[in-house]
Structures are given as C-alpha cells and as structure tokens.
Amino acid sequence: MAKKIAAGIALLGIVILAWYLINQRIAISWIDTQTTAPTATQTPIPGTKTSSLFEIGKAGKEQIWICPMHPEIMQNHSGTCPICGMDLVQSKNPAAHNHDHGVHIDTASIQKLGVRLESVKKAPLSQEIYTYGNVIVDGDTLYNVHTKVDGWIKKLNINSVGQQIRKGQIIYEIYSPDLIAQQKEYLRFVVRRDQTLKTIGDISPLVENPYVMDLLQELSRERTKFLHKDIGIESVQQMEDSKQAIEVVKILAGQAGVVTQINAREGNFVTPSTTLFTLADVSKVWVDITLYPDQAGRVQNGDAVTIKTPDGQEIKTKLDFVNPLAENNKINARVTLNNTNLRLRPGSFVDVIIHAQPHEALVLPRSSVIHTGQGDLVILSRGEGHFLPC
C-alpha cells in the first residue's frame, strides 16, 4: 500500500474537480455556527479559530483533528465540528493533510461524483505517431543533362516540367562549329577507308592487312566519340552516306525520366558546364515525413511506418533516415518507396503512421490526463479524501 501511495494514484473522470483545483485557490475554512462561511474580507467569529487548508498545511508534521462527518473540517488541535457539533478526532495519517494545495472531499461526495482510482505502473509503452508526408523525387535518381560541345540551341523538344522523356528521344538540336569540324575530320577517315578498301581489296584479304585493320579501329574510335556526345547512330550513318557534315545535329536523351527543371531556351549559347535540364526517375520516390521536436525524440531509423495513399491503399515500410537537424522547428524523416505503377506523384501529400518501438515507461489510462493551457496533469489521491494536482 505504501508503494502505491509513493507512485501516486491517477484519478479518472473528474473534470469538475480538476477545474476546481487548477483555477481556484480555495481555502476550506471553518463555518460559523449559522453555517455561513466567512469570506476573505470577513472577520472570524470572536473566540473561534478559523484555519484554512493551506494554513494547516504549513503546520508541517503537527497532528491534525478532523470531523468524522465533515472531513473538510480540520484543525491542529482538538475541538468540536461547527457544523454538526461532533467531537473532532485525531487523523491517523496527518501527512496526507500537510500540503499547501489540493482539496479534501468526503466519502459521500466521492461516491456521488463517480470517482475511480487507478494505480500508476511501469510497463512497455508502444506509441503510434500520426503525421503527414510529402512525396518527392528520389534525390539519388536526379540526372542533369549537359551538352558535350559548345554551341547554340536551334530547337528544343522539352517544353514543360513534368514532361516524360524516353531514353534515345531527341531532346534538342544544336549548331556547333566544333562539332562540324569534328565531323569533317571523321569524314576524312571515311574517305581514306573507302579508298584503301578499293585499292587493296583485290590484292590481299582485308582481315590479314594490318594497315586496313588499324584504319578500321581508328574509324571505330572516332565514331564512338560521336555516340558519347549523345549523337544517334542514325545521324552518324547519314553523315557517312552523304559525305557531308551535318550543321544542326540532333541530340538524344541518354536516360529516361521526368523533367523536373528546365534551364535552357532556344537560341541560348551553351557549354559543357551548362545544366540544360534535370530529369528524375519517378519509379522510386521518397516520402518526406514532418515531425515536431516532441515526436522526433520517440522515433529512430528502422521504425515501422504505414503510408496511406490518396486512393486508400496502405503501404508498409520502415524509416530510412531521421534528420538530426531541425528546420523551422520541424524535423524531417524519410522512407523510400517503389513507384513502378506511378500511383504516388511527387508533390502530393500522404497520411503517415509511425509505429515507435516499445520502451519502458510509467503508464496510466489516457482518460486520466487533463489537458490545460499550462500543460498536462493528473489528479493524485494522497489518502483520506485528499486530492492533489500533479
């Protein structure tokens, strides 16, 4: 029993009592012989000692006498009750009354109020944190498109953010003097190849001629340079067939994705250091989860997470990352989701439930917690009808 009193007992369902304790600093006073309680400005009845609960509390370890019928009547010496005239009896637990705040309620009132008591105990506590998340592109899939040569963009085939780009699709056309010069150099290799093959083709097998093999390898290396500049094999073949350099060259997309940023316009002069576009692979996305400081302390990497999509489906996953830094008094966490069916669109919001890992804690019923403008509290029973906010 002593351990229960030390741990405290949570009082449930007493909103009226809580308001009484929080908002009123009422001293329970003696009542005069005509059952009229003196106010703060009234003078006590001559010859009668009027004591409040707070004054009694200041008595420290002094003995307390209370009325058996009216427990709110108490004093630090023997006497009679001013209400019913009964002799006051000495309290067996004076420590329960030695508090500078709180209230005493008689047994009958406790029964009328329907007061229920519950012991506070230690137990594993598992908490679900309800918040929201923002679907964003996976930063690891971002792909910046750069030109491989200096030149002027003559035609741009990317018109808006969100446009879907296929690998190998023509994304822009460029006029580049450097590229024209490179084409002319390549065409000289082509002419030499054709002349060599025509001259010695009937003399010896080509596969056994080292000069021809070196020439073909050099030509292959020059052709590969065009492919590395995102020029399609069709354009290279067109150049070989026509024996003429192409002034405006078509450039192909080296990777598929969705356009997230456009930095170039038709007529711009661009260099290899210029980022023309940014593409993202949305087949995998991040969900950026917003947490407040009091929530972030209860989550960690690996916690189970439930994502509720706009179409009502649930996705089970785990936290990948919890940012140790706060921004605007918020902490971000993150999960990575497969999005091959594209049901999650970057920029949309989803509901998030984080299932925090259980931890040992003092637990009590949720209904016993009283929420106030100054914080949360519970009402403790200290025995013999004495209740205390904590």
pLDDT at 98 over 60: no
pLDDT at 265 over 50: yes
Of the listed ranges 19-23, 234-238, 333-337, the least confidently predicted one is 19-23
* Residue 95 pLDDT: 54
Q: Which residue has the higher pLDDT, 116 or 291?
A: 291
Query: Which residue type occupies 248?
Result: V
How high does pLDDT run on average in the chain?
A: 79
Contact (Cβ atoms closer than 8 angstroms) between residue 350 and residue 342: no
CA-to-CA dists, residue 218 to 122, 190, 213, 223, angstroms: 79, 10, 9, 9
Contact (Cβ atoms closer than 8 angstroms) between residue 262 and residue 162: no
Model confidence over 129-173: pLDDT tens digits? 999 999 999 999 999 999 999 999 999 999 999 999 999 999 999
- Give long-range contacts, CB 8 A cutoff, 24+ apart: 7-10: 7/119, 7/120, 7/121, 7/362, 8/120, 8/378, 8/380, 8/390, 9/117, 9/118, 9/119, 9/120, 9/380, 9/381, 10/117, 10/118, 10/119, 10/120, 10/364, 10/365, 10/368, 10/378, 10/379, 10/380
210 exposure class (CB count in 10 Å sphere: 0-12, 13-18, 19+)? exposed
* Residue 245 pLDDT: 93
* Three-state secondary-structure class, residue 170: strand
Model confidence over 54-84: pLDDT tens digits? 344 444 456 788 888 877 677 778 889 888 8
* Residue 20 pLDDT: 44
Q: Domain extents for the chain?
A: 2-124+365-389, 128-138+282-357, 148-273
Quote the DSSP letter at residue 80: B
Query: Which residue type occupies 175?
Result: Y
* Residue 12 pLDDT: 38
Burial 240-266 (b: 16+ CB within 10 A, else e): beeeebbeebbbbbeeebbbbebebee
Model confidence over 327-384: pLDDT tens digits? 888 999 999 999 988 889 999 999 999 998 887 888 888 888 888 888 888 888 877 7
* Three-state secondary-structure class, residue 353: strand
* Residue 156 pLDDT: 95
User: Sorting pLDDT into bands at 50, 70 and 90, what band is 203?
Assistant: low
CA-to-CA dists, residue 195 to 181, 186, 219, 237, 358, angstroms: 21, 14, 14, 18, 80
Sheet holding 65-66, edge to edge: 74-75, 65-66, 89-90
pLDDT at 388 over 90: no
pLDDT at 227 over 80: yes
* Residue 32 pLDDT: 31
* Residue 51 pLDDT: 40
The CATH number fitting domain 128-138+282-357, selected from 2.40.30.170, 1.10.3720.10, 3.40.50.1980, 2.40.50.140: 2.40.30.170
pLDDT at 207 over 60: no
Q: Which two tokens stand for residue 248?
A: 């405006």
Q: How large is the average pLDDT for residues 182-197?
A: 86
